[in-house]
Amino acid sequence: MKNFELQVENYMINRCLEHLKHKEKILKRPLTFNYRLEHTRTAVAFADSLAQELGVDPALAKIATWLHDIAKCWDPSLSPEENRLRGKNHAQVGGDEAANYLRSIGFPPELSFQVQQAIATHAGLTKDYLIHEPLSAIVWDADKLSKVSGAGLLHYLGEILSAGNERIDLASFLADEGRKELQELHLGIRDSFNTETARLRADGEMAAAAKLRGQMLAAILGRKHGDGSSASLEP
């Protein structure tokens, strides 16, 4: 299984790099941050940890998570409209693409099906039901943990800075990250996790992200920040 994991990792790193090159071609300038790759790497790390805690083969969990956004990576053999539709329906399409790729490298068919199902059910940010199939549950939880963590904050900032199509004030950005609606969204994401293990992990990650945001905001404003939790734009 480890050999398959390395093959998938290398394949998806290359796909993410190709995706970035395509974006550079469209924008006609270099990009310094690869959101697709960084988000996926973080999700894979969460999947590894969750799998070990839940008794699922970590290599299988990482394979599925490396592939979870495959349909968001540009496919040069398709038209722009076809790629747009792939991205819009990236869970179902990605599950099929991942299964086809895994079959091409000799991955066990029964495990390919599990990966396909896990990817096909990961779309969205929140839900009001539990996923009971272990691999599918891990992929959902790992994907969303990447978004609510401190890493997710940095990924979002990196994407904005790399895009270069809007000016950004760091103090305002950090304060906005604490807005009530975003906090409510993150709580909704947290409540959509499939296991108590993931929900507890989310609580810790969100608390750490809030602390990081507060510490960075206080430093930018030149204030003492203590634990960073009370920093704001208010005088």
Give pLDDT tens digits for 193-218: 999 999 999 999 999 998 998 899 99
231 domain-assigned: no
Token look-up 């499939």 returns 194
* CATH number (domain holding residue 36): 1.10.3210.10
Model-level pTM? 0.90
Query: What tokens does 204 get?
Result: 């810790």
Write down the number of H helices and E strands in the chain: 11, 0
pLDDT of residue 1: 87
Q: In 3D, which of 6, 108, 18 has the Cα closest to residue 63?
A: 6
Boundaries of domain holding 80: 2-221
pLDDT of residue 223: 87
27 domain-assigned: yes
pLDDT of residue 166: 72
57 domain-assigned: yes
* Cα 221 from Cα 102, distance rounded (Å): 50
Q: How far apart are the first and last CA of the chain?
A: 56
234 domain-assigned: no
* Cα 20 from Cα 162, distance rounded (Å): 11
Count of the separate structural domains present in the chain: 1
**Contact yes or no for 138/52 (Cβ under 8 A):** no
pLDDT of residue 174: 86
pLDDT of residue 168: 84
pLDDT of residue 107: 98
pLDDT of residue 180: 76
136 domain-assigned: yes
169 domain-assigned: yes
pLDDT of residue 178: 53
pLDDT under 70 in the chain at which residues? 176-179, 225-235
* Cα 145 from Cα 194, distance rounded (Å): 12
102 domain-assigned: yes
235 domain-assigned: no
